[in-house]
Chains A and B, each alone.
With several copies, the nearest count.
Chain A
């Protein structure tokens, strides 16, 4: 069944009529994803290459049975689209938008947790279940169906690891790019829980990065609850302290949040940790 995204996924795209929204929605559809609707207030009744456009997500859900919201609208409008999707009772939100103010993201995070609506992102590449559906901007040609689940904050680092896995003959059940912002809807720990419960996933590859304590918390979760093999890599061994490395959360504060400490925490939890994307793929390949 994979996680988050599968053959039953029906996508409504907020921002379908924009340049990026259109490009990726059509790409997702070409991959086989059911992209059933778009939403742009004021453009209801139009269509984008046969995908009907509605004024509101509620109408799109009612008319098309959409169950997954994919958000491409600009940062100042993006959280509003996510609230609207939650109120329209979708099962999943995937918010690609980068550059949303943290004070907009924080209450959205709170609302979605309370409402129990999972969100992937913001500032993420989305979710790809190879061979089945792609909701987001991941390049699909590098992925291949299989039984390893992958989760990462980073977009392109995700692609790198997926690429390495595929080249080593290891297919993926689902690839999840959870996003690099401090307030994201689903953390490593949430994705790890789903992979552990997913009958189509045999092992998990978890890509971390410097900053915060998410990897440490996920390590504790893995030690206590995950019985499938987990392979890990943490980016940023060479990152200097006190510098924000691209992602808002990727900063070593004093001696806290280093790649070394995170790698050790994962190893203590029984995770086989590689020192670069190739190594983690090799570790996974050796076991599968």
Chain B
């Protein structure tokens, strides 16, 4: 789960990392009121789950109420790499004396473990990485090696070390997959402050983390929003063939063979392992609701997911919701025969069957193009 900047900063602040005090706003008037309350100059920052806001014009400094209104109006509603800006964060504009970059991520290196990706001074060559054994955790020598080898100036070493230690503690206690601060600044008064925060939390840790508070549905695309609400693993793409499959690798491969058959996939949708009939029905409904989808390819190879469940799901979905597009179903693996039997016993006019993945892709593309 990718957090918005202000959510990430709140978590860092909870962990003791100094962050600018600010507030968020969803409207221009609110934004101006917040800016007035904070006092100028303020930074007005688009809250989107994607990098590169600054370059895209999503971060502006306002020196007074008029500028605040102007910038808030300009940024709210902006499209940044396909993300519509629906929320702003307003904070005091910092006087920056020095900028650094710090990041913790779980990566496997030669020996596995957690890597702090980079602690770079303004000079991009000055990058230090350390490998942190997750059994051992973050020790003072890790911080020492990062601040010295990363070229942090003498007067900021203690402050940066302390923030790195706090960041790692937060990285672990929050079940973060990524914790990145860029820039980690030193103000002209000498304070080390996290001026931005990129935090990705692990949804698998939901049983011990309070993730619900961050679960805002910002997707403006109706299929993405519906998929999120139903807990489907859905990614919108640009083609005409809706794709549903089980297993990330198989679905990725299905996108590939659709392209090789001369079409383009409209989406990625992985129903995962052991998906129930209801799950399959929901998936069909979401994919079908996309007006650019001209045909749907269901590619299931059974392991935990059993063929009869998939078939029941398809039959149930077709009974309950109106699926206008032709559906090509390809079923193999565990209980595939039973599944095919169920489909055969419940004939539908728009239901097509294929015996191989390549045939299924070709048929789906043909139907999409013929439609």
Do A and B come into direct contact in the complex, CB within 8 Å?
A: yes
Chain A interface residues toward B at CB < 8 A: 20, 24, 41-42, 44, 55-56, 58-59, 75-77, 80-81, 83-84, 87, 98-103, 106-107, 109-111, 113-114, 125, 137-139, 142, 152-160, 163, 180, 182-183, 187, 207, 209-210, 212, 233, 235-240, 242-243, 245-248, 250, 259, 275-278
- Is A103 in contact with B246, judged by CB distance below 8 angstroms? no
Report the bound CA distance from A261 to B268 in whole Å.
21
Taking A20-B304, A56-B148 as contacts, is the C-beta distance between A111 and B133 under 8 angstroms? yes
Q: Which residue of B lies closest to A76 (CB)?
A: B207
Query: Is B339 in contact with chain A by the CB < 8 A criterion?
Result: no
Indicate with 1 or 0, residue by residue over B267-282, a CB within 8 angstroms of chain A CB atoms. 0101011100000000
Which B residue sits closest to A114, measured CB to CB?
A: B135
Is A278's CB under 8 angstroms from B251's CB? no
CB pair B332–A238 under 8 Å, yes or no, is no
Closest CB in chain A relative to B260 CB, distance in Å: 6
9 additional A-B residue pairs with CB within 8 Å, beyond A56-B145, A80-B140? A41-B144, A42-B154, A42-B157, A101-B205, A111-B135, A137-B304, A237-B256, A240-B235, A278-B358
In the complex, which residues of chain B have a beta carbon less than 8 angstroms from the beta carbon of A153?
249
With a cutoff of 8 Å between Cβ atoms, the chain A residues found around residue B114 in the complex are 106
Per the bound structure, the CA–CA distance linking A261 and B245 in Å amounts to 25
A42 to chain B, nearest CB (A): 7
Q: Which of B211-260 contact A (CB under 8 A)?
A: 233, 235, 237, 245-253, 255-260
Report Cα–Cα, A137/B334, bound state, in Å: 9
CA distance A33 to B236 in the complex (A): 42
Task: Give a binary string over B125-162; 1 marks a CB under 8 Å from any A CB, 0 the rest.
Answer: 00000110111100111001100110000100100000
Q: Is B356 an interface residue (CB 8 A)?
A: yes
Using C-beta atoms within 8 Å of the partner chain, give the interface range for chain B. Answer: 35 or more
Cα–Cα distance between A197 and B233 once the two chains are bound (Å): 39
Contact B172 A247 (CB under 8 A): no
Closest to B255 in A: A238
Q: Are A102 and B177 in contact (CB under 8 A)?
A: yes
A238: which of B202, B258, B304 is its contact (CB, 8 Å)? Answer: B258
Q: Are B357 and A102 in touch, CB under 8 angstroms?
A: no
Q: Is the CB of B248 within 8 A of A154?
A: yes
Return A55 CB to nearest CB of chain B, in Å: 4
Q: Once the chains bind, are B256 and A236 in contact (CB under 8 Å)?
A: yes
The answer to whether B332 and A163 have CB atoms under 8 Å apart is yes
Chain A minimum-CB-distance residue to B251: A246
Pick the contact of B247 from A100, A155, A240, A243 — CB < 8 Å?
A: A155
Residues of B within 8 A of A109 (CB): 108, 112-113, 134
* Residues on the B chain within 8 Å of A113, using CB: 111-112
Nearest 8 interchain pairs by C-beta: A154-B249, A246-B248, A156-B247, A157-B249, A106-B134, A238-B255, A156-B250, A101-B205
User: Closest CB of chain A to B18's CB: distance in Å?
Assistant: 23
Task: Say what secondary structure dominates the interface of chain B.
Answer: mixed
Listed by A's residue number, 6 A-B pairs whose Cβ atoms lie within 8 Å are A101-B175, A102-B205, A160-B301, A163-B333, A183-B112, A247-B249
Query: Most A CB atoms within 10 A — which of B113, B252, B272, B332?
Result: B252
**A142, B108: Cβ atoms under 8 Å?**
no
B237 interface neighbour in A125, A183, A240, Cβ under 8 Å? A240
The verdict on A100 contacting B248 (CB below 8 Å), with A157-B253, A237-B256 known, is: no
A106 CB contacts on chain B under 8 angstroms: 106, 112-114, 134
Cβ-defined contact, B141 with A80, below 8 A: yes
Contacting pair A238 B112 (CB below 8 A): no
Q: A114 to chain B: which residues have CB within 8 Å?
A: 135
For residue A41, which residues in chain B have a CB less than 8 angstroms away from its CB?
144, 148
Q: Which residues of B contact A80 (CB under 8 A)?
A: 139-141
In the complex, chain A residues whose CB is within 8 Å of the CB of B259:
237-238
With a cutoff of 8 Å between Cβ atoms, the chain A residues found around residue B50 in the complex are: 242
Judge if B204 is at the interface, Cβ distance under 8 Å.
Answer: yes
Q: Check if B301 sits within 8 Å of A163, measured CB to CB.
A: yes
In the complex, which residue of chain A has the Cβ closest to the Cβ of B177? Answer: A102
Q: Within the complex, which residue of B134, B145, B270, B301 is in contact with A159, where a contact is CB–CB below 8 Å?
A: B301
Contact pick for B357, options A55, A56, A233, A278, CB 8 Å: A278
- Selected from B148, B172, B249, the residue in CB contact (under 8 A) with A180 is B249
Q: Does B107 sit within 8 A of A, measured CB to CB?
A: yes
Verify A75–B204 contact, CB threshold 8 A: yes
When the two chains form their complex, are residues B149 and A275 in contact, meaning their CB atoms are under 8 A apart? Answer: no
**B265 interface residue (CB < 8 Å to A):** yes
Could you tell me if A235 and B106 are in contact, using CB atoms closer than 8 angstroms? no
Q: How far is the CB of B106 from chain A (nearest CB, A)?
A: 5
Chain B residues with CB under 8 A of A111? 133, 135-136
Report how far A250 CA is from B258 CA in the complex, Å: 19
User: Are A245's CB and B106's CB within 8 A?
Assistant: no
Least Cβ–Cβ distance between A199 and chain B, in angstroms: 28
Smallest CB–CB gap between A140 and chain B, Å? 9
Contact of A59 among B111, B135, B148, B175 (CB under 8 A): B148
Q: Is B302 among interface residues, defined by CB-CB distance under 8 A?
A: yes
Pick the residue among B106, B136, B141, B175 that contacts A183 (CB under 8 A).
B106
Digitize B345-360: 1 where CB-to-A-CB distance is under 8 Å, 0 elsewhere. 0000000000011100
Residue of B nearest to A105 (CB): B106
Give a binary string over B170-209; 1 marks a CB under 8 Å from any A CB, 0 the rest. 0010010100000000000000000000000010110110
Question: Which residue of the partner chain, among A56, A125, A142, A212, contacts B332 with CB atoms under 8 Å?
Answer: A142
